[in-house]
Amino acid sequence: MNSYRPAATILLLITLALIAVPIIQGDELIYEFEVERAPSLDNKSLQEVSGVTRSHLFSDTFWAHNDSGDKARLFAITEKGEVICPPFLRTCPSSAQGISSVWEGHTIEIAMNYDWEDIAVLGGHLLIADTGNNGNARRDLGIYRVPEFNPRAVDKTRALAFYPIAYPEQSMFPAKEWEFDAEAIFVADGQVYLVTKHRASGSISTFKPGAKLYRVTLDATERANLAELIAVKDDLAVVTAADVNPSEELLAVLGYQFLWLFSRPELEGEHWFSRQVGRLDLRSFEMGQVESVAFTDDQELMIISEPGARFLVRWKRRKSEAEPN
């Protein structure tokens, strides 16, 4: 989402405080959490992170990008929060390992960051979701496909395709109901999903509970690819990012106030919102405006806020009252 001016930030915080997020009957919250504050990102060019994902080709590498209005560029970071760059370039004053605090990112040609909101990996390619839609009036939503490249070997690459996205339920621009701002993308079983953030109609800074899960097939580049509505979840709110763990057994959904975990759908008719197994209240950790989440492995994930603060979250199964100590 777009950055807020100070006055709007106060309004945002007041509005968020009024959101009540219920626990839906049938959810089994079986996990408890621990949170560790990690070193912040040490790079002035990467301070409004709105998307992050784990590389599928390179170890200890995560791809991140800034929010709307930034250049079309990606940053590769390590699990320690260090920014990676090609060590042979003069613009990368770094150690031999290709780590720099002043690197300005890898340029993505044939692309524009209108409102990049999240990033995922599919088949050796990065999917960048230019699906931010604060005012629910955009008619140019879409997803860029970029080859996953070696961040220590090249300084730029180009987008191979842009897939326009449209919602069949939206016929007005701006929409009658402001429920078409997708700030989360994830890939599971080779399928691409989007999760929406909802606002009170006519108010960018007033949020309301609820999120929709869409599935989209990236086929066409000359016409809109229609997003298929899969599920509505009323107890999610202000969703900003999502990711699936490496074994594709857990889905993490991030919001300003909560982190939710869902287990893999198993039965016929189930979907990724069917089985909520964990919910972490983020409000006591002073994380700031959290906009991105990525699994580091099957049992840990990393949250990054727009100021560049990083947090590691781990979980374990709760002991039932019947279990011995």
Is 43 a domain residue?
yes
Closest by alpha carbon to 276, among 320, 213, 319, 193? Answer: 213
* Residue 62 belongs to domain with CATH number: 2.120.10
pLDDT at position 325? 55
**More confident: 288 or 254:** 254
**More confident: 270 or 89:** 270
Q: Which residue in the block uniquely carries the two structure tokens 């006519």?
A: 202
Q: Percent of the chain, pLDDT > 70?
A: 89
Is 3 a domain residue?
no
Is 311 a domain residue?
yes
Q: What is the pLDDT of residues 105-119, one digit of tens each?
A: 999 999 999 999 999
Beta bridge partners of 38: 310
Q: 216 in helix, strand or coil?
A: strand
Q: Are 86 and 100 in contact (CB under 8 A)?
A: no
User: Over 50: is that where the pLDDT of 15 sits?
Assistant: no
pLDDT band at 261 (very low <50, low <70, confident <90, very high): very high
Read off the DSSP letter of residue 99.
B
Is 7 a domain residue?
no
Mean pLDDT of 234-257: 97
Is 14 a domain residue?
no
pLDDT at position 26? 46
Domain that holds residue 54: 21-317
pLDDT at position 100? 87
Rounded CA-CA distance 239/241 in Å is 6
Mean pLDDT of 69-81: 96
Query: Nearest 5 degrees, angle CA 40-CA 236-CA 305?
Result: 10
Asked whether the bond before 174 is cis by omega within 30 degrees of 0, the reply is yes
User: What contacts 172, CB < 8 A, 6 or more positions away?
Assistant: none
User: Over 80: is that where the pLDDT of 22 sits?
Assistant: no
CA-to-CA separations, 55 to 50, 230, 285, 294, in angstroms, rounded: 16, 27, 27, 10
User: Over 90: is that where the pLDDT of 4 sits?
Assistant: no
Mean pLDDT of 11-36: 60
pLDDT at position 240? 98
**Which residue blocks in the chain are alpha helix, DSSP H?**
6-17
Is 325 a domain residue?
no
Is 16 a domain residue?
no
pLDDT at position 17? 38
Cα dihedral value 238, 72, 124, 144, nearest 10: 70
User: What contacts 67, CB < 8 A, 6 or more positions away?
Assistant: 1, 2, 3, 48, 49, 50, 115, 116, 117, 132, 291, 306
Domains in the chain, number: 1
Tell me the pTM: 0.90
Cβ atoms within 10 Å, residue 286 = 10
Is 56 a domain residue?
yes
